Structure 1
Amino acid sequence: MDTGYVHGYTEPETRRLGDQADTLAELLHAGTAYPAGSRVLEAGCGVGAQTAHLVTRSPGAHLTAVDVSEASLRQARARVGGVDFRRADLFDLDGEYDHVFVCFVLEHLLEPEKALAHLKTLLRPGGTITVVEGDHGSAFFHPRSEHAQAAIDCLVRLQADAGGDALIGRRLHPLLTGAGFAGVTVEPRTVYADRSRPELVAGFTRDTFTAMVEGVGETAVARGLATADGWARGIADLRRTTGPDGTFHYAFFKATGRNP
């Protein structure tokens, strides 16, 4: 599988993934629950941050969770019990499942439609797929800052250079229909944070989004995409959006489809 995980496999990134999953659990997982006894595949489970919420919402389902990183899988096994964790490349997967769940994976793939087409071969007729992705182009914030926007743009560029697409949320409908899924629906799941929602200010604006951008700073400066001073200003301005007068908006996209 062609993938470049631009965020790295550090301990801060592991914490960020956990913060993101816990803060956004209701936003991202609402409407997703699998019947007892159903066979569910989570493709690209990482450290198990989303896996934990899948298990909570579908306690009777038989969940298989796969990832290419053995280090991530060790953390996933420690985080979640009752799951069949396996190390595997997405394109090497076989078997038959009733449902497939994919969250924050396609954005890192060089050929996301090819990946979806392969996942379709693993679904029984009538089986469903659920895909969740973000779109960094949906980030709007106050106070407005060109330096903060430039830092976000650096992350988008670095992900593109690694073969991914940080703007993939807007592409989910054509990607799923192009891969042959039927009945595709896509809906935005919007995060909006201001001082009246302190849990989102801390859990999402600060500990998820700003932490994600900040994590690529060393690489962005080393590759000449930003100066050290410009990067520091951009991160400082992103942090300002968590202040008393700050606001932050971001949209995730959740898509569903079925194997005809």
Structure 2
Amino acid sequence: MTTPVDPVEIDDIGYVHGYSAHETRRLGDQADTLAALLHSGTAYPPGSKVLEVGCGVGAQTVHLVTGSPLAHFVAADISADSLAQARARVTAHAPGAQVEWLQANLFELPFPDAEFDHVFVCFVLEHLPAPGQALAALRRVLKPGGTLTVIEGDHGSPLFHPDSAYAHAAIDCQVQLQSTAGGNALIGRQLYPLVTGAGYEDVVVRPRTVYADRSRPALVNGFTRNTFIAMIESVREDALAAGLMTPSDWDRGITDLHCTAADDGTFHYTFFKAVAMNPGAAEE
């Protein structure tokens, strides 16, 4: 018998970016632009059973099933609307994929112990008030010897030219708002202690770095503009309502961020990817 993990209510899991059509497009741009970077080294054997937790609108699911076309996937999310969009996205881009869709809270997954060979979690822990508990809960449904893959960003990692205190302040607004919502936009740097603390072994964490300048126009447009800056721009009203910046300082920060995507600009960001193994049943 495994040790039960206290469930976190669905209402306690906040997604600070919202569920707008704009956010759906941003997630798609992000996943497509970063697919080679983030999914390199992730492939599952034919016939293996893989759980993707927090699949959202299916932006990452498409790349998972494309990279492992003979694996069987279960994609779970707490949002029925997001699952509907995910199903449509995968049907359009990978019509033969083996995917089951499940609306569920990851703390209350309706599976027996050791149901899956592999678990994949991308951009989920940053939104949870108890990421360590989430990882421990996922161990229950992962077979002994099965693998966990976790990918998270870190909003403290951006380096850019031209540098700007106003741009950094605008980014920090997003970090503060996510913290207020119960998440952690700086979680990437914490993956190793989080994963080891949840009882996994053979934990390996490696940085996955994005660097964009005018010699890499696809990254400038797909990541700097359409992923990162678009994400920061989306919290403007909440940041101003919270009094985190004045309107004029905010607008200057966003203008300065766009300068990093100009011909003489550069932008750097670090994601972190952890791969680990479940040694066996959780302690009694």
Does TM, normalized by the shorter one, top 0.5? Answer: yes
Separation in 2 of the partners of 1:218 and 1:75? 26
Separation in 1 of the partners of 2:72 and 2:250? 45
Q: Which residue of 1 aligns with 2:124?
A: 105
2:100 partner letter: D
Corresponding residue to 1:26 among 36, 41, 45: 36
Describe the superposition over 1:173-220 as per-residue Cα deviations: whole angstroms up to 9, x where unpaired.
000000000000000000000011000000000000000000001110
Query: Aligned Cα RMSD in Å?
Result: 0.7
Separation in 2 of the partners of 1:231 and 1:120? 42
| 1:154 Cα deviation from its structure 2 partner | 0.3
Runs of 4+ in 1 over 4 A off after TM superposition: none
Describe the superposition over 1:109-144 as per-residue Cα deviations: whole angstroms up to 9, x where unpaired.
000000000001110110000000000111000001
Q: Which residue of 1 aligns with 2:136?
A: 117
Describe the superposition over 1:82-108 as per-residue Cα deviations: whole angstroms up to 9, x where unpaired.
311110001011231000000000000
Is 1:67 the equivalent of 2:77?
yes
Q: Which residue of 2 aligns with 1:53?
A: 63
Corresponding residue to 1:90 among 106, 115, 122: 106
Structure 2: 5+ residue stretches without partners: 1-7, 92-96, 280-284
| 1:149 Cα deviation from its structure 2 partner | 0.4
Describe the superposition over 1:34-90 as per-residue Cα deviations: whole angstroms up to 9, x where unpaired.
001000000000000000000000000000000001111110010013311110001
2:102 partner letter: R
| 1:3 Cα deviation from its structure 2 partner | 1.3
Q: Which residue of 2 aligns with 1:205?
A: 224
Matches within 5 A, 1:219-230: 219-230=238-249
Give the secondary structure class of the aligned counterpart of 1:4: coil
| 1:148 Cα deviation from its structure 2 partner | 0.4
Describe the superposition over 1:234-255 as per-residue Cα deviations: whole angstroms up to 9, x where unpaired.
1111001000100000000000
1:210 partner letter: I
Structure 1: 5+ residue stretches without partners: none
| 1:226 Cα deviation from its structure 2 partner | 1.2
Separation in 2 of the partners of 1:79 and 1:106? 23
Corresponding residue to 1:136 among 133, 155, 174: 155
Separation in 1 of the partners of 2:162 and 2:242? 28
Q: Identity of counterpart residues, as a percentage?
A: 67
Describe the superposition over 1:137-171 as per-residue Cα deviations: whole angstroms up to 9, x where unpaired.
11000001111000000000000000000000000
Q: Which residue of 1 aligns with 2:3?
A: none
Separation in 1 of the partners of 2:272 and 2:228? 16
In the superposition, the TM-score normalised over structure 1's length comes to 0.99
Q: Which residue of 1 aligns with 2:4?
A: none
Separation in 2 of the partners of 1:163 and 1:254? 22
| 1:228 Cα deviation from its structure 2 partner | 1.3
Q: Which residue of 2 aligns with 1:150?
A: 169
1:87 partner letter: Q
Report the more deviating stretch, 225-234 or 151-160. 225-234
